[in-house]
């Protein structure tokens, strides 16, 4: 399964199944009167009378690397740290969580750049995001935007994978860019949603 973000932005975009070109998810980020932001992930084309289309809601908390962020999923509220435990710099793990069957999964760095992947305990790749490259090649041919490829082993819980990807990409994505720290601070201040880790 290959999912494509129409707006090339995980926080606000329709998400299309590349095989069928059907919109299968919608991601919306809103701001309330107090300035707080929340991101809602919904399945597209489903009536709330049949099944709840909301896969999860992320209530972002600024500062402390987003540690105060709350997650609403399956009618329950939990902290980000309870939902996705922080990893460690030495292992390259960004966040870890459990699939619906209780198996451990890990979003970890893949190489020295911004790339990261989702793997299981046996290091099998469950999901791999990819971003279109800029530069001459993008001018010559149509630029490929942000995609998330999910292996057959992960398709049965694609909702959860997509929700965790949105979180990891926002909180950790910019910190993996090869920029100086003042660039990172500027980037996070511009979004107003989360701050970089203070390690």
How much is the pLDDT for 49? 58
How much is the pLDDT for 105? 98
How much is the pLDDT for 111? 79
Model pLDDT for residues 144-180, shown as the tens digit of each residue: 689 999 999 999 999 999 999 999 998 886 544 433 3
CA distance 33 to 30: 10
How much is the pLDDT for 139? 38
Model pLDDT for residues 91-131, shown as the tens digit of each residue: 899 999 999 999 999 999 987 667 899 999 999 999 999 98
How does the average pLDDT of the chain come out, rounded?
Answer: 80
User: Measured between alpha carbons, how far is residue 94 from residues 66, 89, 114 in Å?
Assistant: 13, 8, 12
How much is the pLDDT for 11? 93
State the CB neighbour count (10 A cutoff) for residue 53: 16
List the beta bridge partners of residue 26: 14, 42
Model pLDDT for residues 38-87, shown as the tens digit of each residue: 999 999 976 555 667 899 999 998 765 566 899 999 899 999 999 999 98
- Say which residues have a Cβ less than 8 Å from residue 160's Cβ, sequence separation at least 6: 55, 56, 97, 99, 100
User: β-strand 104-109 against 93-98: which pairing, if any?
Assistant: antiparallel
Ramachandran angles phi, psi of 43, nearest 5°:
-80, 135
194: tokens are: 């989360």
């Amino acid at each position: 399964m290959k999912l494509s973000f129409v707006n090339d932005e995980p926080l606000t975009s329709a998400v299309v199944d590349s095989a069928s070109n059907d919109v299968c998810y919608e991601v919306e980020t809103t701001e309330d009167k107090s300035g707080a932001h929340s991101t809602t992930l919904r399945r597209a084309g489903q009536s709330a009378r049949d099944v709840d289309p909301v896969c999860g809601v992320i209530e972002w908390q600024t500062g402390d690397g987003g540690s105060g962020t709350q997650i609403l999923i399956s009618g329950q509220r939990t902290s980000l740290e309870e939902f996705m435990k922080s990893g460690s710099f030495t292992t390259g793990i960004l966040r870890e969580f459990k699939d619906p069957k209780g198996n451990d999964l890990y979003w970890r760095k893949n190489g020295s750049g911004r790339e990261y992947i989702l793997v299981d305990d046996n290091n099998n790749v469950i999901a791999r995001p990819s971003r279109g490259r800029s530069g001459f090649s993008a001018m010559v041919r149509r630029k490929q935007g942000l995609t998330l490829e999910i292996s057959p082993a992960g398709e049965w819980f694609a909702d959860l994978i997509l929700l965790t990807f949105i979180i990891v990409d926002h909180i950790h994505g910019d910190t993996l860019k090869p920029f100086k720290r003042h660039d990172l601070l500027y980037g996070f201040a511009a979004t107003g949603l989360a701050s970089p880790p203070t390690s």
